[in-house]
Amino acid sequence: MTSPLKLGVAGLGTVGAGVVSLLRANADLITARAGRPIEVVAVSARDRGRDRGVSLDGLAWHDDPVELATAPGLDAVVEVMGGSEGPARALVEASLAAGRPVVTANKALLATHGVALARLVEKTGATLAYEAAVAGGIPAIKALREGLAANRITRVAGILNGTCNYILTEMRVKGLPFATVLKTAQELGYAEADPGFDIDGVDAAHKLAILAALAFGRPVDLDALHIEGIRHVSALDIALAGELGYRIKLLGIASQEKGGVTARVHPCMVPEASPLAAVEGVFNAVLAEGDAVGRVVLQGRGAGAGPTASAVVADIIDLARGRTAPLWGAASETLDASPALPMAAHRGAYYLRLMVLDQPGVIADVTAVLRDARISLESMLQRGRAPGEAVPVVLVTHECEEAQMSQALTRLAGLPTVVEPPAMIRIEAL
Ligand SMILES: NC(=O)c1ccc[n+]([C@@H]2O[C@H](COP(=O)([O-])OP(=O)(O)OC[C@H]3O[C@@H](n4cnc5c(N)ncnc54)[C@H](O)[C@@H]3O)[C@@H](O)[C@H]2O)c1
Ligand SMILES: N[C@@H](CCO)C(=O)O
Ligand code: NA
């Protein structure tokens, strides 16, 4: 029998415990597919005594996770602690510097330090694998970096945060309040340690930054992204979207335009007939468009112990087999570092929902603002009758530029008859 691949696992939370138990549950087939047994021999976490549902008997315990970088007898390290700084970063850097391969689920680290990490692996030759970092169990990294490697990719998009998709789905289907559903998502192990990363769009941005780098052959650039989360998506907008034939989804979208690349994360209205509209709950979807292949859509569970462990263990099997790929699909010096396009240049259609006083002349004031910004309306919807009180007015625009919309929003918010900040959601025909 070939010698086993010996692992140190740093982090024994949702993902770490999931990895240890999956390696045990499917040991026979994993051994066959890896060509050798895979053994966890050392672990590190914050709390040694916690019951995680997996036995740690016989495993070496390290209080300091960074020790796994150089502890004798290990062939590779699995970093599933999280965080772009602190011990996760220190462990990954120290392991790679020592030539020890790393498998991680840490999108924050890859999106923030991916450029330097690529230089490090190019220097030492150690592998850094990160399938679990994007869209959990969906093999999105492999699909883009290997499966679609022959294509010029024109667009990559998707539902990239399971927590947000779960919240939006439960709010729509069960009418549950935002905070209640977020709490359940945390209990189910979907949310980040700081759930603000999920609901403010940061986690989806980390993933989109990674996908965009792979899709367009560019150095990963989180700062170039426009990022909005779902805190401001109300139950009213979810219901009104349904009336108009749309679903609200938090999407990440990066596309190759004439003058450069755009990358943005924000709530979107997608037509109910879109393949993305049907992706509900903790499911994620990744859509890519290539010049040779056309459109490819992958979907599957984007968070949780099993789906994430599935991706981590797939990377471990690749390591055992000696299958590797450049961190970003090609050597750093061949990547295209031209600047990204700003959000102000984005063109699209918009949904606007205003709470206006129900009195004569209000609609004339609103449409005058849109006229002045040269924004043309596709449809308008007014609900209810409450003289002297606030009622919702919904406007759907034709395509215009984001800069025009920003100007109109500022003026609409300033109208004396508009009593709440306007709600704006971009419409995407994906
Ligand atoms: N939960 C998911 O569905 C999911 C999916 C994909 C990727 N990820 C990523 O996987 C990683 C882990 O996520 P999780 O949900 O398992 O987190 P978690 O909070 O459930 O577990 C984190 C583990 O790391 C340990 N840890 C954290 N900081 C530490 C420190 N300073 N020193 C020692 N140990 C430390 C904790 O003790 C815990 O065992 C993160 O990078 C996350 O973004 C999570
Ligand atoms: N918090 C993340 C975990 C998966 O990366 C999510 O909800 O999608
Ligand atoms: Na994945």
At a CB cut-off of 8 Å and minimum separation 6, what does 121 contact? 96, 127, 128, 327
**pLDDT band at residue 261, thresholds of 50, 70 and 90?**
very high
Domain contains 311? no
Residues 105 and 175 grouped into a single domain: no
Atom of ligand 2 nearest to the CA of 195: 1
Residues 279 and 373 in one domain: no
Ligand 2 centroid to residue 346 C-alpha, Å: 27
Whether residues 123 and 175 fall in one domain: no
d(C-alpha 301, C-alpha 281), whole Å: 9
Q: Do residue 126 and residue 156 come from a single domain? A: no
In total, how many domains does the chain have? Answer: 3
Pocket probe mutation, ligand 2, options 80, 186, 192, 310, max atoms within 8 Å of Cβ: 192
> What DSSP character marks residue 233?
-
> Distance of alpha carbon 193 from its chain centroid, rounded?
15
For 357, the domain range is: 344-427
25/106 same-domain check: yes
308 assigned binding-site residue: no
Q: Order across the sheet with 60-61: list the strands.
A: 60-61, 38-44, 5-10, 76-79, 102-104, 128-129
Distance of CA 88 from the midpoint of ligand 1 (Å): 9
How many A from CA of 138 to the centre of ligand 3? 4
pLDDT tens-digit readout, 291-320: 999 999 999 999 999 999 999 999 999 999
Catalytic residue, chosen from 6, 174, 207, 249, is 207
From 184, 301, 308, 312, give the residue whose CB has the most ligand 1 atoms within 8 Å, as the site to mutate.
308
Residue 172 lies in a domain: yes
Q: Which residues, in sequence order, are CB contacts of 44 under 8 Å at separation 6+? A: 8, 9, 10, 11, 12, 61, 62, 63, 64, 65, 67, 68
**Within a domain: 245:** yes
Residues 183, 165 share a domain: yes
Last-in-domain residue among 268, 286, 301: 301
Q: Does residue 197 sit within a domain?
A: yes
Tell me which residue of 165, 262, 260 sits closest to 208, measured CA to CA. 262
Structure confidence at residue 201 as a pLDDT band (50, 70, 90): very high
Instruction: Give the mean pLDDT of 154-173.
Output: 98
> What is the four-CA torsion angle of 301, 304, 307, 311, rounded to 10 degrees?
120
Residue 278 sits in the same domain as residue 179: yes
CATH number at residue 74: 3.40.50.720
- Quick one: pLDDT at residue 89? 98
- Does the beta carbon of 65 lie inside 6 Å of ligand 1? yes
pLDDT for the residue numbered 270: 98
Quick one: 129 and 198 in the same domain? no
Looking up residue 395, the CATH number of its domain turns out to be 3.30.70.260
Given its phi and psi angles, is residue 387 left (phi above 0), alpha (psi -120 to 50 degrees) or beta?
A: beta
Atom 1, ligand 2: which residue's CA is nearest? 191
How far apart, in whole angstroms, are the C-alpha atoms of residue 222 and residue 210?
Answer: 8
Task: Output phi, psi for 220, to 5 deg.
Answer: -60, 135
Nearest ligand 2 atom, CA 198? 1
The confidence band for 148, taking pLDDT boundaries of 50, 70 and 90, is very high
Do 39 and 145 belong to one domain? no
For the stretch 361-403, pLDDT in tens is 999 999 999 999 999 999 999 877 777 789 999 999 999 999 9
Could you say which of 133, 151, 170 is where a domain stops?
Answer: 133
Is 207 annotated as catalytic?
A: yes
Tell whether 315 is covered by a domain: no
Task: Among 118, 133, 148, identify where a domain stops.
Answer: 133
The pLDDT value recorded for residue 1 is 61
Q: What is the ipTM of this complex?
A: 0.99
Cα–Cα distance between 145 and 300 in angstroms, integer?
18
Pocket of ligand 1 contains residue 110 by CB under 6 Å: no
- Domain assignment of residue 194, yes or no: yes
In degrees rounded to 5, what are phi and psi of residue 111? -70, -30
* Residue 172 shares a structural domain with residue 270: yes
In a domain, 332, yes or no: no
> 100 pLDDT band (50/70/90 cuts)?
very high
Ligand 2 binding residues, C-beta < 6 A: 136, 161-163, 190-192, 198, 203, 302-303
Buried b (16+ CB within 10 A) or exposed e, 66-80: bbbbebeebbbbbbb
Q: Is the pTM of this model over 0.90?
A: yes
> Above 90 in pLDDT, residue 77?
yes
Q: Is the CB of 268 under 6 A from ligand 1?
A: no
How far is the C-alpha of 279 from the C-alpha of 287, rounded, in Å? 12
For residue 154, what is the domain's CATH number?
Answer: 3.30.360.10
Establish whether 11 is an annotated binding residue.
yes
Find the helix or strand (DSSP H, E) in which 5 lies. strand 5-10
The CA distance from 109 to 88, in Å, is: 8
Q: Taking 80 as the threshold, does the pLDDT of residue 219 lie above it?
A: yes
* Same structural domain, 259 and 146: yes
Q: Is residue 362 part of a domain?
A: yes
Dihedral angle over CA of 424, 287, 139, 233, nearest 10: 10
- Whether residue 149 is found in the same domain as residue 116: no
Q: Which ligand is nearest to the CA of 138?
A: 3
Distance CA 430, CA 427 (A): 9
CA of 165 to the centre of ligand 1 (A): 20
State the residue for tokens 């779902």: 230
